[in-house]
Amino acid sequence: MATSRASFRSLSRASQFISARRPWTCSTCRNGVARRFQRGLATTPEVPKKPYYVTTPIFYVNAAPHVGHFYTMVIADIIKRWQVLLGNDAHLLTGTDEHGMKIQQAALAAGMDTQAFCDMNCRTFETLAKAANINNDHFIRTTDSSHRDAVQYFWEMLNHRGHIYTSKHEGWYSVSDETFYPQTQVQNSLDPTTGRKRMVSIETGKEVEWSSETNYHFRLSAFQDRLLELYNRPDSFITPSKYATAVIQSVSSGLTDLSISRPAERLTWGIPVPGDDTQTIYVWLDALVNYLTYAGYPFPPGQEKSSIWPANVHVVGKDIVRFHCVYWPAFLMALDLPLPRNVLVHGHWTMNREKMSKSTGNVVNPFFAIDRFGVDGMRFFLAYQGGLSDDADYDNSFIIRDYKKWLQGGIGNLAYRTIGCAKGKLHSYIQDATSDKLPTASIADEEHQAMLIATPLKVAEHMTGLNPRAALQEIMSIIEKTNKYFHAAEPWKSANPQWVLYNVAESLRISTILLQPFMPDKSQELLDLLRVDTSNPAKRAFSATVYGSDPDYGEGIRKGMLFPPLLTEE
């Protein structure tokens, strides 16, 4: 039996292994090396001492959901499912934001009772979560009584600690954004549809109007230095760093205190300020507390540390960075509550490189997209092409292109050809390979094996860094390299195709295990097709991505069509 020239002691040496020409290593030694290698990565991130807690923003119910909401849900769901794949307890929270002036006005325009309007539109977002196969543990609504109680208690604690005062406030107010903007953050603009002159927010492009009112203020300016310390800590609070840079610049230029209530005569649809029914709590203070509400806030004395709080990741779009990265941590600092560990920010989806807008009619209905391309087809496309640092362009032709290349012609075709080429002997090849009964592997075989050992660790690194897109692209590199390896080896012409077919089978097994957070249904379908044991969850966990670790799959495999042609292609 040949022995290995080197063992893996760190991730940095992986490239040496991949490129080195090594004599064949027996399965016992090979699996031991791979497990030590993977165990090394597994100890790199902090081992969760509480359930891993992921959130989406709560979505505003003044209009129907669009593909941006769908994308945010999918990214958060992938992160939650990844933690489950690692064997961790994980929770995912999503829900709806149902208070504020926009809701009040939208319900009035629809001629509906405001609560009935919220109930109707809330159901649409719940339906989207189900249609998108989002594995959320709770769906929260800001009209829930438990949330109302949490928000009013949060307010009372801020007031008790002296962080709230009353003052007259004047400024430019955006009903659409539900926030005031200083003079430096607004500009004159022309309405593209009417040509009317108007004042808009520079950040969002939404119209603002001058407002003067007396309301309650939060002493946001007192937290400037602590916020800057947060942004500059070694482990990034805001990911990607592009958004952290912009937030640091903004906060460094100075913070003004924040108006956190609205006169009830103007805004009735919301949570009243405790002890003052003439004022309604600012919708963003109300909304942000939802993350605490699900965690059990207000925490019973002595049980603060038994909660799932703090959140490990808030997943948000780039348009609400200020609320999550400035206001929210400042509120928490004021009450000495633990801060969320990370805010993952993503870009927007555009169409023809233009921002999607209901007024221009270039929005994407996520339900139509799921019906046309399948839930996993859409989840794959959004995760593979969606932008974190930058925006991403949406087009049906792009979805069709990726479906054909990566799913139908990539994974699906590879599985079909492998099963056909094995001619019913794949299980015996797997058993022979894992018990060292096959002939000596070629250099090409060994290089492919090295790639399969190294790639799961690369995927895990990307997920630890909260980059699902890079992780998915790494997984799909297995499929791309395996197709080239299969084509070059031509096992259908070989008298001894065992090593090639075994390595290709391992490529499918390993990549499919890794794909489970991204495409839950299709991954399960392929693992079932490969006869990976369903009765033993460990066979489908991240720990099972060790090359050669499963000798028992492959029995009685038959061809199946994983990714059928799309009904309409254009």
Residue 207 pLDDT greater than 60, yes or no: yes
pLDDT at 11: 33
Neighbours of 433 (CB within 10 A): 21
Report the pLDDT averaged over residues 550-557: 93
Which one of 2.40.40.20, 3.80.30.20, 3.40.50.620, 3.40.50.300 gives the CATH number of domain 52-393?
3.40.50.620
The average confidence (pLDDT) of the chain is 88
Degrees to nearest 5, angle at CA 154 with 152 and 159: 95
pLDDT at residue 107, rounded to an integer:
94
> What's the pLDDT at 342?
98
Q: Say yes or no to pLDDT of 18 above 50.
A: no
| Residue 7: predicted pLDDT | 31
pLDDT of residue 510: 98
Mean pLDDT score, 144-157: 98
Asked if residue 14 has pLDDT above 50, the reply is no
Question: How far does CA 369 lie from the centroid of its chain?
Answer: 19
pLDDT at 22 over 60: no
pLDDT tens-digit profile of 155-202? 999 999 999 999 876 677 776 666 777 777 778 887 766 667 788 877
Q: How far apart are CA 145 and CA 153, in angstroms?
A: 12
Q: For residue 206, what pLDDT band results from cuts at 50, 70 and 90? A: confident
Within the chain, how many helices (H) and strands (E) appear? 21, 18
Going 287 to 290 to 293 to 295, the CA torsion angle's sign is negative
Which phi-psi region, left, alpha or beta, contains residue 251 (left: φ > 0; alpha: ψ -120 to 50)? alpha
pLDDT tens digits for range 217-246: 999 999 999 999 999 999 999 999 999 999
Confidence of residue 3 (pLDDT cuts 50, 70, 90): very low
pLDDT, tens digit, 9 for 90 and up, residues 448-493: 999 999 999 999 999 999 999 999 999 999 999 999 999 999 999 8
Instruction: Look at residue 421 in the predicted model and tell me its pLDDT.
Output: 93
pLDDT of amino acid 193: 64
pLDDT tens per residue, range 273-306: 999 999 999 999 999 999 999 999 999 987 777 8
Query: For 334-367, how does the pLDDT look when each residue is reduced to its tens digit (9 = 90+)?
Result: 999 999 999 999 999 999 888 776 656 678 999 9
Give the tokens for residue 23: 């004599």
- Output the pLDDT for position 8: 28
**What's the CA gap between 223 and 257, in Å, rounded?**
10
The DSSP annotation for 264-333 comes to TTT--SSPEETTEEEEEE-HHHHHHTHHHHHTTSSPPTT-GGGSSPSPSEEEEEGGGHHIIIIIHHHHHH
Q: Based on the number of CB atoms within 10 Å of its own CB, is 83 exposed (0-12), middle (13-18) or buried (19 or more)? A: buried
CB 540 within 8 A of CB 513: yes
| Residue 17 confidence (pLDDT) | 34
Residues 6+ apart with CB under 8 A from 105: 62, 175
Confidence of residue 539 (pLDDT cuts 50, 70, 90): very high
Fill in the DSSP letter of residue 12: G
Contact 501, 490 (CB under 8 A): no
Instruction: Enter the DSSP assignment of 419.
Output: H
For the chain, the structural domain boundaries read 13-44+395-545, 52-393
- Nearest Cα to Cα of residue 261 among 169, 186, 184: 169
Which distant-in-sequence residues (6+ apart) come within 8 Å of 103 by Cβ?
Answer: 60, 61, 62, 114, 117, 118, 269
Q: What is the maximum alpha-carbon separation in the chain?
A: 86
pLDDT of residue 46 exceeding 70, the answer is no
CATH of domain 13-44+395-545: 1.10.730.10
pLDDT at 86 over 80: yes
pTM: 0.88
Residue 506 makes CB contacts below 8 A (sequence gap 6+) with: 452, 547, 548
Residue 505's nearest CA partner among 525, 524, 478, 537 is: 478
